[in-house]
Structure 1
Amino acid sequence: MMITLPDYALDYMDNLIQTGRSKLTLKQYESDLKKFFSWLAVYKENTRFETVKALRAEDIRAYFQYLKEKQLSQATIRRLASVLSRLMIYHQCVCAHEIHKLAEASPLRSLTTKDFITLEEFNKLSRQLLTKDLEVTKKSARNYLLTRNWTIVALLRTFGLTPFDIHSIMMKDLNLAQGELMLTRDKAPLTLQLPHDIMAKLRDYYFSIPESFRPKYYSNDPVFVAFNNISYSFQFDYDRQKPKALSVRAIQEMIKDEVRRTGLRKISAVNFRNAAILEELAAGTSDEKVMEQFHLTSEAALRRYKQYLQAESKG
């Protein structure tokens, strides 16, 4: 997602220029702040000053959880926290004092078996995702979303995507005829060849959406559309004149609900991603390709998986 800094952030950048910061430092600050505002535009659906002023500890915690899901090193997260903290202090935001404390919480640790979803667990979850509710209750709205939800979980596990990745996929990124999905990345885009079963379910989901709400081919419409559990209908954003994108939080809640239904231990999208990364490394994929495919930004993040594999082989 391309984003420009809002005016109040540009005001802060101007202040940095006046204090004599180098061009290199300013460029790094701008890049770091854009990461935050790209996330905020999705999490709060706007980047207005009033929204930033109203942020609380739980919001900042959600941001750092997002960064950790992207497998950033603790050093990188500390740097992002420092830049964000200074912006918040400059504008006297109440959450400024929480930022460093939350950034330091839960540093990268050694991986254990609990960090990965097993094949048995995934197979159980896959079957549950396609099992209809027999009772007509408020929650039976999920019966309309079986193929959508199955596809999302399959993409998370197969390619190690994050909920943010899923939320951000647009119709122009998806080629239904060729079965290809292109992920927009900072450098070169990454093209994924979708397996037949994922493509079949994805098409089923797509054509289950009423035509008036259906995302348009080759457009900026979201592939995964939000659903109203009360009216049993897909949602449309009339201000933007396009279907409303399924939110990151809704994806996380869907996974939590389906895991609970299946009777599994606590499992999240991070467990799917970890399993996908480990699988690639175990298959002998090069470090460079793994880092590119999973958008890892540091060798420290990759090292944890390699250490786990080594420990497993010795065990």
Structure 2
Amino acid sequence: MDPIRIAIVGMGKIARDQHVPAILGNNAFSLAATVSPRDSGLEDVPHHRALDALLDEGPAVDAVALCTPPQVRYDLAALALRRGVHVFLEKPPGATLSEVAALKSLAEKTGATLFASWHSRFAAGVAPARAWLAERRIDAVSIVWREDVRVWHPGQDWIWEPGGLGVFDPGINALSIVTHILPRPFFLKEATLVLPENRAAPIAADIQFRDTAGAPIHMDLDWRQTGPQSWDIVVETDAGTLKLANGGAVLSLPSGTEHSEDVEYPGLYSRFATLIRGGRSDVDIDPLRLVADAFLRGRRETTDAFYD
């Protein structure tokens, strides 16, 4: 079977650090081209400044991975889908829920695969955590996702603009895990969003959710953490405590702790290849919907101006 010819659109840090090695390490794909208006691309890989130029002039591609900021992703995805090209969407899948719904409808009409990826779901501890929780009574959940924005998003002004999500850019990773591992749906009850006086997106948030059986779920997000970073989910159950640490890579159960290597992006590309070969799409918007609820219902507080 011939490999899937894929182009990366948007050659920022995530593309170079994660997408390129995951594609090169998967025999189901061949990296056919890159696209970026500012970056010069990779040595020995054809490069274009715009996606329409690639699709018009070649080389031919079967799929694209969109690694651009979410605010510009809809037009790129729609262009590719209309050409019958499969689309991998980095998280979050769009700047709005309506954009993603429109893309899903377009993919259904064209028959191309649309994959709304959530890389944290492919962290090594997530699948066994989901299996262990499937038949447990959930009593309470705590999510602490605190990191230093200067380390992870230096100089990325788009992330502070409307649609860039602010601290929910990492926070949505936690929500992608929790919506996947908990056996029941949950919804927002109240939220406080803390916005720097010079930014349009929050730098911190405190959120209260509740699942459909009444279990409380508390989420603490902060982009001002220095020193050790915190990406932890703790689930209290009738059978003891489950903890996912390091973004889902380390799973602790009453029976012991398991440490595993980073398998997120290789897992994403294996999933994308399976979807393409099967003629299917995977467009889960639950994490983005919860973020939208926080923006819809959350109380705003203003804090000191933030500068990189």
Q: TM-score, normalising length from structure 2?
A: 0.29
More helix as a share of residues: 1
Flag the structure with higher strand content.
Answer: 2
Say which one has the larger Rg.
1
- Normalised by the length of structure 1, the TM-score is 0.29
